[in-house]
Amino acid sequence: MTARIIDGKALSDSIKADVAQRVEALRGRGIVPGLAVVLVGGDPASQVYVRNKAAACEKAGLHSQVIRLDADITQQQLLDVVQQLNQDPAVHGILVQLPLPKHLDSAQVIEAIAADKDVDGFHVSNAGLLMTGRPLFQPCTPYGIMKMLESEGVDLWGAEAVVVGASNIVGKPMAMLMLAKGATVTLCNSKTRDLGAQTRRADVLVVATGKPDMITGDMIKPGAVVIDVGINRKADGKLTGDVEFASASKVAGAITPVPGGVGPMTIAMLLVNTIEAAERAAQAQAAP
């Protein structure tokens, strides 16, 4: 058996085209949706991500500004920048690219972002709203994965879903979103005993660990839907996921490639969250 490849690039293109139409409609009302991306220091991977996000914004007609700050900026200076963006009516979405240099307290910085401009969905109040089933912004990566599962016609109701990796930005919100759709969710971490015994139960398996090729074909239930979030750079410069594609694709029913799977969807959902933030702001302004 060879798994169907889930084309995140094609799906993200159609989502971005939809966003572009919504941007056009807002522009027709004199509102230019705007995203501010704050980049601290010169981490090469972060620079690439920020460049890709800004380019996707411009292509969809959203205004984006990248605020580049020196790596030795103080916590207070960074908080002041966030505060200015909170108050700027031309900025509808704010994103602080992680990871921040070690001397900065990223939790405090994220909490300083106005919750209604937190398009990454990382603010504690947005995490809490998601947890309690009333999301304002869904974190972009798990949100994009839900869109992929939806487009594949995957029915999560009563399904066994296993998430490997329990970070605040991917694993935990992923588990919550699938739970909300009726899945029985198992959330694994580095302490999980006999990981294969967990993953082999999964109808839907989402892997986000940052450990290259750690999930092999023998750890996958035949016919399962496998979503590989990992982005790891190999010695030869090529990208690989957290799932060993060659063996996994022989067992899975459907699988995301790396690159071209989850990555493009994450950016598309950032645009969705930003246009939603701008539409909400426009609605609030129009309300008597």
What angle do the packed helices 44-60 and 8-28 form, to 10 degrees?
Answer: 50
If the CB atoms of residues 31 and 135 are measured against ligand NDP, the closer one turns out to be 135
The count of C-alpha atoms lying within 13 angstroms of the C-alpha of 9, restricted to the half-sphere facing its C-beta, is: 5
CB 130 within 8 A of CB 169: no
Q: Is 15 exposed, middle or buried (0-12, 13-18, 19+ CB in 10 A)?
A: buried
231 is in an annotated binding site: yes
Our separate counts of H helices and E strands in the chain read: 10, 11
Type of residue at 125: S
For residue 288, the minimal CB distance to ligand NDP (Å) is 40
Does 171 bind ligand NDP (CB under 6 A)? Our answer is yes
Does 195 bind ligand NDP (CB under 6 A)? Our answer is yes
- Alpha carbons 24 and 147: distance in angstroms, whole number: 23
Among 19, 163, 170, 202, binds ligand NDP (CB under 6 A): 170
Q: Which stretch binds ligand NDP (CB under 6 A): 31-39, 50-58, 65-73, 187-195?
A: 187-195
If the CB atoms of residues 72 and 150 are measured against ligand NDP, the closer one turns out to be 150
Does 121 bind ligand NDP (CB under 6 A)? Our answer is no
For residue 69, the minimal CB distance to ligand NDP (Å) is 22
Among 176, 208, 227, 243, binds ligand NDP (CB under 6 A): 208
Does 229 bind ligand NDP (CB under 6 A)? Our answer is yes
Dihedral sign from CA coordinates of 134, 140, 142, 144? positive
Greatest Cα pair distance, the chain, in angstroms, is: 60
If the CB atoms of residues 81 and 242 are measured against ligand NDP, the closer one turns out to be 242
Question: CA dist 215 to 36, 67, 199, 225, 252, Å?
Answer: 36, 38, 9, 13, 12
Does 26 bind ligand NDP (CB under 6 A)? Our answer is no
- Alpha carbons 227 and 258: distance in angstroms, whole number: 10
Among 12, 97, 198, 266, binds ligand NDP (CB under 6 A): 266
Classify 153 as helix, strand or coil.
Answer: coil
Does 109 bind ligand NDP (CB under 6 A)? Our answer is no
Tell me if residue 97 is catalytic.
yes
Considering the candidates 120, 203, 213, 242, report the single residue annotated as catalytic: 120
115 is in an annotated binding site: no
Classify 46 as helix, strand or coil.
Answer: helix
210 is in an annotated binding site: no
Binding-site residue set: 165-167, 231
Residues identified as active-site = 53, 97, 120
Residues binding ligand NDP (CB under 6 A): 141, 164-167, 169-171, 188-192, 195, 208-211, 214, 229-232, 262-263, 266
